[in-house]
Amino acid sequence: MKQLQQTLRKSYSFEGKGLHTGKKSSITIHPAPAGTGILFRRTDISKDKYMEALAEYVSSTDRCTTLTKGDISVMTVEHLLSAMTGMGIDNAVVDLDCMEVPILDGSAKPYIDAIWKDGLAEQDTPRKYIEIDREITVTSEKTGSSIVITPSETPSFDVKIDFNSKVLGLQDARWDPSVDYTTEIGVCRTFVFFHEIEYLFGNNLIKGGDVDNAIVIVENPVSREQLERMSALFNVPMLERCENGYLNNLQLRFSNECARHKLLDLMGDFRLVGGFLKAEVKAVRSGHTINTNAAKEVRKLLNANKM
């Protein structure tokens, strides 16, 4: 039995801060006809211009995935696209009133909580999977990262992370159709190392970061003065380093939540191949740059096969 395309039953709106710009952002996700795919529209620029969620529009991968087509740019698309993939949404139009998708709780959970309770609307058109006819390997000598994409009847994503961290250690995570994305992957939040935070703020990144939307890893013991400075930065009561090496701002949802979040990101970035990829994807030390480079290679192969 063929899988039919799906869209939302109604429109859903979300509001929050952009993680990197710090600006208040509102988005509304609308149902769309079969064959539409995922489209972005910047309502603050034009209601008549749309940008497709495709890898050829990736313009930056500095701490998030940014898409640009003409005068339309949208930052931090990965969590939303991951939610679309994990929930099985083929077609939707996303309206934004500024450049960045809000970070919300740092995961795809807010999208899941809003949309999943209503279910999805089936459409009278079979889903057209993205299929490749050979293995694709993408590597980065600089980061030691690699992604191998192998044709497969059963789609899957595997992630292994290694940050040379005593706290994180080596972690891995996997998704295939037997895994419930909505409870096992989509709820996993972004993370950052304590020593990176001041640097990121100083370089105009994570302006919208706060202690509610990121797991903070404290690799080494820190002074009271450092914790006080961090608490002041986030305007929250005194923060502490827990025995397990994490800041006490959040409780982990899984012992390998960080690897699961990297898997969430991978699934979101790979939606930029243009749909649902029917392949086995194995990623080691992945990030937005190698993720989107791999998605671009899939797009190149698909375009070459059309010629």
Catalytic residue numbers?
288
Is residue 104 within 8 Å of 213, Cβ to Cβ?
yes
Exposed/middle/buried for residue 118 (C-beta within 10 Å: 0-12, 13-18, 19+): exposed
Please give the C-alpha separations between residue 84 and each of 37, 109, 258, in angstroms, as whole numbers: 10, 12, 20
**Amino acid symbol at 207:** K
> Helices (DSSP H) in the chain: which residue ranges?
78-87, 109-115, 181-184, 194-202, 224-234, 257-270, 288-306
CA–CA separation, 246 and 85 (whole Å): 30
Question: Which residues are 193's β-sheet partners?
Answer: 217
**Beta-carbon count within 10 A of 211 CB:** 19
- Name the DSSP letter for residue 118: G
Closest alpha carbon to 27 in 135, 138, 101: 101
